Structure 1
């Protein structure tokens, strides 16, 4: 038996909304499981952000569950069909419950992203820290009236899902306020997507890694685009065929909710993907590092890669070894995201072994680039 046979009001935009929500929700849930694993088994960074992310995931999951119930009872389908099959009461009830949890999930997700970026930034940039706190507080404060408006659009409250008492409801104030809050939400998404890029660009790490992480963390701009579209789609609540138009609002609301959770989970789960990136990302000595040359003690040809240069050093004392182990420190104790080059250590023997200063595996950073192989002097 198909869903349409079991739920006669199911149809229109509903099936596509259903598939999109389940697909995005599955991806986000996998990322959340990986975040919990990394927190328990790899490092202790980002506990506050993780707890807020789990809360946002919980509210978003509830939104999706009630959204699915709304779709099965007519969300995304034409109001005439819903009325003809007698599902208008269920459609109204589940739809407004979905809207309520949606108004909880959206600000919680943005607060979780802000908390993560605050922990990532540390005390190194107080301006960014204050701006992130402002974004979090603004989204919480502005969404409180919207939560209340859901239940006070009608007098009495149960008129909200009573098909015979819809004349007692006035949705205009809620819709107009949604325009304002939606604009703030979109601006918040854009800002939260740009800030991590601003943090990564100054870091002197492999260019592929830098732009790759910037791209992945910047995917939050799609949440901002989704916020703009779903804010525009709020007008369909006042439309005669509201159930069909609200399908657009719900679809873009799903994208906004789940994309925020997915994008915020990319940096914390990086340790799980780091071993697979070594073949694509290689570290290199920073251009600001002093460049050394030394002579082979068995010959007069100076060695620096394949280029012959003059050496100011004694052939018996090779220069300090500059290794190229670089990491983005993400431990809470470290404060801010920093580059940690490995220390230089002079060696008296011809055996030159790169030295890695990162030894605490329990507090491993998110990003640790592969060392250059040590080379033995000929």
Structure 2
């Protein structure tokens, strides 16, 4: 027995929307699981961004779940069919619940991306940091009315899902506000996709790596395009065949939600795929001449360059998107302390296992620190 037999209102655009949403959701969930694994087993960086990402994933899963239920009860199918099968009440109820969680998932996803880019940028560029904080705050503030506005379109409010009282509802205010927050979401997605390119551009790394990372981290621009389409599709709520037209809105809404989660998860899981692409991640300096790492003792003092007669082994920096820049570190720690998290993509070693290190400031206080990845220790063990 197929879904159409069990749910007579299921059809139209609904089946395609269901398959697309579940497919993208599965990919995003795999990436989120890999991010958790990297955080627990590979390095200890990106905790704040990961927490925000998990919250965004949680609300997106809830949105997708109610979206599937809405599809089974007529979302994406023609209004006349939904009405004839007696599923109009269920369609209205589950669709507006989906909209409620969708309006929460979208801004949280933007905050999660901003949090990740803030951690990536660290203290590298104060203007970028402030702009990312502004993007996060603006999306939260302006989406709060959108979250609750849907429930005040009708008088009484329960008329929203009552098929016999739809004449007591006026959706125009909610739709017009959707145009505004949708445009804001699209601009935010595009900005969050473009800004990583400006972070990577100054780095002296292999050109293929630079463009590859720029593309991967810029995939959020597709979320911006999806936001534009779903904002336009909000007009279908006011059409004569809303259940069929809203299928378009839901399709591009789920694309926007899942693409944001997928695109922001690619850089953090890079350590797992790096061994497969080592020839693309060598910096230009490393390919032309050996890099001279300075030795540091436990108090952060500078030692001899690599290759000198000293017996002490230099630290090997292997983190990816993970080095926090330092505040107030003395000049003795400059070679490591001023490294940006993005620049650490290029620092790795294929032969030597490494153990966790902590680089302290000149006076021994942990003002700034760089925790080295111990991923390869596990791989060699």
Give the TM-score range, shorter chain.
Answer: 0.7 to 0.9
* 2:258 is the counterpart of 1:258: yes
Structure 1 regions of 5+ residues with no counterpart?
292-318, 343-352, 369-378
Deviations 1:68-106 (A, max 9, x none): 000000000000000001000000000000000000000
SS of residue paired to 2:21:
helix
Select the residue among 356, 361, 364 that pairs with 1:360: 356
Select the residue among 330, 334, 341 that pairs with 1:337: 341
Structure possessing the higher radius of gyration over alpha carbons: 1
Which structure dedicates a bigger proportion of its chain to helix?
A: 2
Q: Which residue of 2 aligns with 1:91?
A: 91
> 1:205: how far off?
1.4
Change over 3 Å in CA distance of 1:218–1:359 after alignment to 2: same
Q: Which residue of 2 aligns with 1:236?
A: 236
Q: Tell me, in whole angstroms, the C-alpha distance in 2 between the residues paired with 1:126 and 1:357.
A: 35
Q: Tell me, in whole angstroms, the C-alpha distance in 2 between the residues paired with 1:355 and 1:12.
A: 56
Q: Tell me, in whole angstroms, the C-alpha distance in 2 between the residues paired with 1:240 and 1:284.
A: 60
Q: Which residue of 1 aligns with 2:206?
A: 206
Answer whether contact 1:270 1:367 (CA < 8 A) is retained.
no
Q: Which residue of 2 aligns with 1:179?
A: 179
SS of residue paired to 1:221:
helix
Change over 3 Å in CA distance of 1:70–1:179 after alignment to 2: same
* 2:142 is the counterpart of 1:142: yes
Q: Tell me, in whole angstroms, the C-alpha distance in 2 between the residues paired with 1:22 and 1:72.
A: 14
Q: Tell me, in whole angstroms, the C-alpha distance in 2 between the residues paired with 1:354 and 1:45.
A: 21
SS of residue paired to 1:155:
coil
Q: Tell me, in whole angstroms, the C-alpha distance in 2 between the residues paired with 1:71 and 1:202.
A: 47
Alignment map for 1:47-196 (pairs within 5 Å): 47-196=47-196
Change over 3 Å in CA distance of 1:327–1:200 after alignment to 2: farther
Structure 2 regions of 5+ residues with no counterpart?
292-306, 327-339, 358-369, 377-381
> 1:271: how far off?
0.6
Answer whether contact 2:323 2:341 (CA < 8 A) is retained.
no
Answer whether contact 1:283 1:326 (CA < 8 A) is retained.
no
TM-score by structure 2 length? 0.80
SS of residue paired to 1:124:
coil
Q: Which moved more, 1:160-169 or 1:194-203?
A: 194-203
Q: Which residue of 1 aligns with 2:29?
A: 29
> 1:288: how far off?
9.7
Deviations 1:318-347 (A, max 9, x none): x989x9x886763354353364688xxxxx
RMSD: 2.9
Q: Which residue of 1 aligns with 2:269?
A: 269
TM-score by structure 1 length? 0.81
Answer whether contact 2:155 2:169 (CA < 8 A) is retained.
yes
Q: Tell me, in whole angstroms, the C-alpha distance in 1 between the residues paired with 2:342 and 2:215.
A: 19
